[in-house]
Amino acid sequence: MKKLLFFLTAILMAYHTYTQNIEVCGTCSVPTLKKAISIAKDFDTILVKKGTYKEHDILVNKPLTIIGKNYPVIDGEQKGEIITVTSDNVTIDGLFIINVGTSYTEDYAAIRVRKSKNFVIQNLVLEKLFFGIYLEKSRDGKVFHNKIIGDAIEEYNSGNGIQLWYSKNIEIEHNFIQHVRDGIYLEFSDDCLIKNNVSANNLRYGLHFMFSNNDIYQDNIFEKNGAGVAVMFSKKIKMLNNIFKENWGTASYGMLLKEINDAEIMGNTFEENTIGINIEGSNRIVYKNNNFINNGWAVKVRGACYTNSFIENNFLYNSFDISYNSKINDNVFNKNYWTSYTGYDLDKDGIGDVPYRPVKLFSYIVNRTPETIILLRSLFIDIIDFSEKVSPVFTPDNLLDKNPLIKRITW
Amino acid sequence: MVSIENLHKKFNKNVVLSGVDLNISEGGIFAILGPNGSGKTTLIKSILGMVIPNKGTINVLGKNIKNSASYRHEIDYLPQIANFPNNLKVKELIKMIKDLRENTNEDQRLIELFTLQPFLDKKLGNLSGGTKQKVNLVLTFMFNSPLIILDEPTTGLDPISLIRLKDLIQAEKAKGKTILITSHIMSFVEEVSDEIVFLLEGQIYFRGSILELKNKTNQPDFEHAIASILT
Amino acid sequence: MLKILKYSFFDLMRSRWSYVYFAFYLLLGVVLLFLNNDLSKAVITLMNIIIVLVPLIGTIFGVMYYYNSKEFTELLLAQPLKRSSIFLGQYLGVAISLSMSLILGLGIPFIAYGLFKSNAIWDFSLLLVTGTFLTLIFTALAFNIALNNENKIKGFGYAILLWLFLAIIYDGLFLMSLVLFEDYPLDKLSLIGSMLNPIDLSRTLILLKLDISALLGYTGAVFKKFFGTNFGFIISFIILTIWVIFPVLRIVLKSKKKDF
């Protein structure tokens, strides 16, 4: 009798609308998400009511919209991956997913999108996870308004918040990610937009690029991560209006650039990082209108960096503005404002009449023997810095800002 | 009153006192004499504990003075050169010394005696040498100690003040006090002292009354007697 | 001793040098605050100045006071007072009046600027505490030098040399030895090196509160462990205290044996 009733209502509903709504709840006839997916047809909407669903390995293999009402909990019980999307046009919205399984051989994720297009993943809360949202060989998707809160302690057994692998044209916006390994990780992923996210307290990087080109990240906040943002082996990345804050600790930095060419770094704020930007083997990068405030080193150049230009940036109260480890310089500094500039402006054109040398002898010594940092701000150091300023011996003598500004730049 | 045994003192290699034995009984005025550099001041400073002897013991009022400061309650000392903190006023200095030692009203009488009233509100740096010496005298005589040590008390004093000083010394003597004086003014010494101690090359060359010295040297007057020792 | 302290203190409070010193710090505080408009930045600049100037002024002032008050000292020596009380009293008189000039001179403009509402108050207090320690240390060292040298010129010479050595030359030698032995683990050497010199120790203490990111980020684990913890903080202050106690003890001992 029951079966018959169910069958009748099912037919009735199928008649009623073209796309059907399937409700899932603990006491409903469809008690699990898996069941709902299995009975759903293409382009159906599955409504998951409030409750706890102990499920994992949920395979979404047809174009469905899955919406959680009042954040139902999908508990993976640490048994493995929770949701895997293999179909195009899937939307997942409003779920609270916890307890992703941890493995040393497989990267289990709360949600994995594999070889799919046009997906939307939004308004999710992920906790107790290994990997959060894992996009694999997918394209044209959106990842919006998710909150990913991990509890990573060690790098080797933790995963990333949002990971892109061979994916293209993905928009990642307004996500909040903390306490994972890398907040957002892009590998071989091009043409992505990463905007308005907050990535904080992560073990390794707030944002990490590897072999990814033509991406833009802007208006993000990276705070208190192991090491802010790492951009490696990538081309034509635009980094705009981001805030890099309080990334400190041994070899920590706001941003690491390694083998990066033709990037644009504009309007960013680097505040209270041990190293603001650490640059290695990066060429033709334009740094413009950035604020470097209260960093240990604002910019640390580690060699093989050519034709970069630093224009109209503010260098405010950094212990060291620029550090170089070689005598060769091919980079241009022009029209920056340096708080440690002590020159004068007699003709009142807003540009200091004496060039500024941003590299101190002491920073050269510290590069060689890091322990000497203990002598920072001692009178002796001031004296040798002064003598080096007057006649450079150890630091590149063409490394100077010929037009240091007298007032802080606003834009 | 004061007994000194086998006192030795040298500054670096320069021997100043070499085995001084001296007993000074209670009451009377003793002059310590000797040529420049004979160790007069060193001897006095040793008694005061300002110079630490290399060897020997000093007893004041029967007590060994080593590592002690309280015995100086029994001594009034007039230092040789009256140099005081320059930005103190005379009044303040007197008040301070009273504060450091003990209270006394004797200072009023002494200030009047040396007519120091007009200078009370002046800073010590602005005073003449003679006036400073008068202040110095006030500071010394305002306490009532059994032992008084005066190092060149006559320096810079005008004749009237000198007479006052002599009266003062006699008055103290009359109270039964012991007074040690060094001076280069032989007439002064001859006039006030009961006994003289003559220091020569770090030792006591002569001790006795002026009469005895005259007899010993066969000289009719005191100054010549002294001169004959030195030649 | 307290009486001597009182008289030395008031004597100094009346001398124009105390006013000059006080006015200098007052002016410095005002200029820094109202030009910079940033409390924590002003504290950093102030540190640079305090680390260098306080020891210099402490030494010069200490030596100067000792020689200038020689007559006063002799006057006191003939009084029934202990030598240790005389010299400790004078020493404390100088040290306290200098410290007062420092604390009031800097404190007034900072309080007027709204220090109590700012979180720089701890940095600032630390600055004043180390400044006071440096005053105590260098005044004591100056008294030692003066007690050892009857000759004024010599005394001043040694005092300046001492300051030059601890403020500049020491750091030069320190830097050279660090660079020279860079192949060896240097954590401990640099830790000890910065502990032995009171100026370096004060600088490190303040730096760790101000530029902590740069420092902790780059040097070895020993440093982090040491200065980053309360333990290191307490040890640092103990060493500063030792730096005060030893010269003061020597003042007492030396003054007992000295002839005047």
Stretch C29-42: mean pLDDT, rounded?
A: 75
Task: Give domain status of residue B39, yes or no.
Answer: yes
Q: Whole-angstrom Cα distance, residue C120 to residue C42? A: 10
> What size, in residues, is chain A?
411
- Candidates 3.40.640.10, 2.20.28.90, 2.160.20.10, 3.40.190.10; correct CATH number of A18-226? 2.160.20.10
Q: Whole-angstrom Cα distance, residue C79 to residue C155? A: 26
- CA distances (Å), A245 to each of A206, A221, A223, A323, in order? 11, 8, 5, 20
Inform me whether the C-beta atom of residue A325 falls under 8 Å from chain C C-beta atoms: no
Higher pLDDT among residues C17 and C54, named by residue = C54
User: To the nearest whole angstrom, how far is the Cα of C25 from the nearest Cα of chain A?
Assistant: 19
Q: Whole-angstrom Cα distance, residue B131 to residue B114? A: 9
Which of C56, C179, C213, C224 best probes binding to A when mutated, by most A CB atoms within 10 angstroms?
Answer: C213
Give how many domains chain B has, as a whole number: 1
* Selection from B158, B152, B176 nearest residue B77 by Cα: B152
Q: Whole-angstrom Cα distance, residue C89 to residue C6? A: 8
Closest by Cβ to C260, choosing from B45, B88, B99 = B45
Longest dimension (CA), chain A: 98
Give mean pLDDT in consecutive 10-residue pieces for chain B, a chain of 231 residues. 87 86 87 85 88 88 83 86 76 87 86 90 87 89 89 88 90 90 87 88 86 85 83 75
- Residue A112: predicted pLDDT: 95
Stretch C113-128: mean pLDDT, rounded?
A: 79
Q: Whole-angstrom Cα distance, residue A300 to residue A323? A: 5
Q: Which residue has the tokens 């620029």?
A: A322
Q: What chain A residue is nearest to C220 in terms of C-alpha separation?
A: A371
Which residues from chain C sit within 8 angstroms of residue B51, using beta carbons?
259-260
CB contact under 8 A, C168 and A379: yes
Domain carrying residue B195: 2-81+145-230
Q: Which residue has the tokens 């006491």?
A: A27
Sign, CA dihedral C164-C169-C170-C175, equals positive
Q: Decide the pairing of beta strands A264-266 and A332-334.
A: unpaired
Q: Which residue has the tokens 């800073």?
A: B123
Closest by Cβ to C174, choosing from A249, A294, A375 = A375
Sign, CA dihedral C24-C30-C33-C36, equals negative
Closest by Cβ to C75, choosing from B52, B69, B79 = B79
C250, exposed or middle or buried, with CB in 10 Å at 0-12, 13-18, 19+? Answer: middle
- Residue B37: predicted pLDDT: 79
Whether the CB-CB separation of A286 and A307 falls below 8 Å is answered with no
Inform me whether the C-beta atom of residue C19 falls under 8 Å from chain B C-beta atoms: no
- Residue C216: predicted pLDDT: 52
Q: Which residue has the tokens 């500004």?
A: A405
B220, exposed or middle or buried, with CB in 10 Å at 0-12, 13-18, 19+? Answer: exposed
Q: Which residue has the tokens 């040590």?
A: B149
- Residue A221: predicted pLDDT: 95
* Selection from A152, A206, A214, A207 nearest residue A188 by Cα: A214
Closest by Cβ to B85, choosing from C11, C81, C258 = C11
Q: 3-state SS string over chain A?
A: CHHHHHHHHHHHHHHHCCCCEEEECCCCCCCCHHHHHHHCCCCCEEEECCCEEECCCEEECCCCEEEECCCCEEECCCCCCCEEECCCCCEEECCEEECCCCCCCCCCEEEEEECCECCEEECCEEECCCEEEEEECCECCEEECCEEECCCCCCCCCCCCEEEECCECCEEECCEEECCCCCEEEECCECCEEECCEEECCCCCCEEEECCCCCEEECCEEECCCCCEEEECCECCEEECCEEECCCCCCCCCEEEECCECCEEECCEEECCCEEEEEECCECCEEECCEEECCCEEEEECCCCCCCEEECCEEECCCEEEEECCCCCCCEEECCEECCCCCCCCCCCCECCCCECCECHHHHHHHHCHHHHHHCCCHHHHHHHHHHHHCCCCCCCCCCECCCECCCCCC
Whether the CB-CB separation of A179 and A225 falls below 8 Å is answered with no
CB contact under 8 A, C81 and B88: no
Q: What chain C residue is nearest to B92 in terms of C-alpha separation?
A: C7
Task: Give domain status of residue B195, yes or no.
Answer: yes
- Residue A9: predicted pLDDT: 58
Residues of chain A with pLDDT under 70: 1-18, 250
Q: How confident is the model at residue C99 (pLDDT cuts 50, 70, 90)?
A: very high
Phi, psi for A152 (deg, rounded to 5): -70, 140
> What size, in residues, is chain B?
231
User: To the nearest whole angstrom, how far is the Cα of C80 from the nearest Cα of chain B?
Assistant: 5
A42, exposed or middle or buried, with CB in 10 Å at 0-12, 13-18, 19+? Answer: exposed
Closest by Cβ to C182, choosing from A317, A368, A377 = A368
* Selection from C5, C45, C237 nearest residue C134 by Cα: C237
- Residue A2: predicted pLDDT: 59
Q: Whole-angstrom Cα distance, residue A228 to residue A199? A: 9
B70, exposed or middle or buried, with CB in 10 Å at 0-12, 13-18, 19+? Answer: exposed
CB contact under 8 A, A365 and C179: yes
CB contact under 8 A, C77 and B50: yes
Which residues from chain B sit within 8 angstroms of residue C3, using beta carbons?
99-100
Q: Whole-angstrom Cα distance, residue A32 to residue A21? A: 15
Q: What chain A residue is nearest to C193 in terms of C-alpha separation?
A: A374
Q: Which residue has the tokens 């240790």?
A: C84
Which residues from chain B sit within 8 angstroms of residue C71, using beta carbons?
81, 83-85
**Domains of chain A by residue range:** 18-226, 254-411
- Residue A187: predicted pLDDT: 95
Cα radius of gyration rounded to whole Å, chain B: 18
Q: What is the pTM of this model?
A: 0.80
* Selection from C119, C133, C126, C62 nearest residue C91 by Cα: C62
Q: What chain C residue is nearest to B150 in terms of C-alpha separation?
A: C78
User: To the nearest whole angstrom, how far is the Cα of A399 from the nearest Cα of chain C?
Assistant: 23
* Selection from C10, C17, C88 nearest residue C58 by Cα: C17
Phi, psi for B162 (deg, rounded to 5): -65, -40
Query: Which two tokens mark B135?
Result: 């202040």
Inform me whether the C-beta atom of residue C11 falls under 8 Å from chain B C-beta atoms: yes
Whether the CB-CB separation of A157 and A180 falls below 8 Å is answered with no
Give how many domains chain C has, as a whole number: 1
Query: Which two tokens mark C177?
Result: 């030895």
CB contact under 8 A, C171 and A320: no
Which residues from chain B sit within 8 angstroms of residue C4, using beta carbons?
100
CATH number at residue B163: 3.40.50.300
Whether C134 has a pLDDT exceeding 50, the answer reads: yes
Q: Decide the pairing of beta strands B195-200 and B203-208.
A: antiparallel
Higher pLDDT among residues A60 and C11, named by residue = A60
Closest by Cβ to A319, choosing from C194, C199, C214 = C214
B24, exposed or middle or buried, with CB in 10 Å at 0-12, 13-18, 19+? Answer: buried
Q: Whole-angstrom Cα distance, residue C20 to residue A169? A: 70
Domain carrying residue C195: 2-257
* Selection from C223, C219, C188, C228 nearest residue A372 by Cα: C219
Q: How confident is the model at residue C213 (pLDDT cuts 50, 70, 90)?
A: very low
User: To the nearest whole angstrom, how far is the Cα of B52 from the nearest Cα of chain C?
Assistant: 6
* Selection from B147, B119, B118, B150 nearest residue B137 by Cα: B150
CB contact under 8 A, A369 and C186: yes
Whether the CB-CB separation of A232 and A258 falls below 8 Å is answered with yes
Name the DSSP letter for residue C117.
G
Query: Which two tokens mark C154?
Result: 């010599």
CB contact under 8 A, A371 and C174: no
Closest by Cβ to C178, choosing from A297, A371, A380 = A371
